[in-house]
Amino acid sequence: MSLFDTLVLDPTFTCSVCGKTHTTLQTHSLGDSFATYRKGSFIRCCPVHYGILREALYCRHEGTDEAPKQEVWLVLWHGIYAGHAPDEESAKAALAKVDRLDLIRWLEAAQSDAQSWQSRYRRLFRDLDDWKDVRDNPPVPPIEGQRAPWNFRQLPDEVWQDADPLSRIIERNALSAEEEKASVRDSWGW
């Protein structure tokens, strides 16, 4: 199986035959780097700098083995994926309408996404670092009559005291349903 890229369709694409909603589209036209692009993403290996590109979406209709091809037109603006359109004319119109406000929105989305992943990484790293610290330096029970030593860990006692602390750490750092949806792991365009 050769590599492909995944485009997030925003708005979603509805099959004109069976009504199925498609949230993503696989393409071999944008460099095949196994990347996921959403509106506003810079496409590193994009062969089209500025223009529109005809792509095909295959919808496997419910209850059949048929997967007829339907056209989706991609809009590419200075190497950025700027969305999709159902036909050539509306793709041309969408390309002509891209402006600086779109750029600001895309920039904000990209920075928010990067900040969110950085903070998730830091939280997960801190949890694992705390767990390693507890494993290597098990807490000494407090001596009666003396104040317990200050705990600098963010990891709650019930996590490191659990029989399987790593599973608890994975659970508390798991993506929320909304984050899961945004990360586009759910659908591959069929």
Please give the residue ranges that form the binding site for Zn ion (CB under 5 A).
15, 17-18, 20, 59, 61
Rounded to the nearest whole angstrom, what is the least distance from the CB of residue 55 to Zn ion in the complex?
16
Cβ-based nearer residue to Zn ion, 60 or 92: 60
Q: Whose Cβ is closer to Zn ion: residue 50's or residue 58's?
A: 58
Q: How far apart are CA 65 and CA 60, in angstroms?
A: 7
Backbone angles phi, psi at 5, to 5 degrees: -120, 155
Q: Are 13 and 22 in contact (CB under 8 A)?
A: yes
Give the residue with the Cβ less far from Zn ion, 18 or 109.
18
CB of 5 to Zn ion, least distance (A): 22
The structure tokens listed for 67 are 């997967």
Tell the smallest beta-carbon distance from residue 17 to Zn ion (Å). 5
Q: Parallel, antiparallel, or unpaired for β 50-58 and 21-27?
A: unpaired
- Pick between residue 18 and residue 182 the one whose CB is nearest to Zn ion: 18
**Which parts of the chain are beta strand (E)?**
5-14, 21-27, 36-37, 50-58, 69-77, 80-85
Identity of the amino acid at 162? D
To Zn ion, the closest distance from the beta carbon of 53 in angstroms equals: 22
DSSP state of 42: B
Greatest alpha-carbon pair distance for the chain in Å reads: 80
For the CB of residue 62, give the shortest distance to Zn ion in the complex, in Å.
Answer: 8
Nearer to Zn ion (CB atom), residue 15 or residue 48: 15
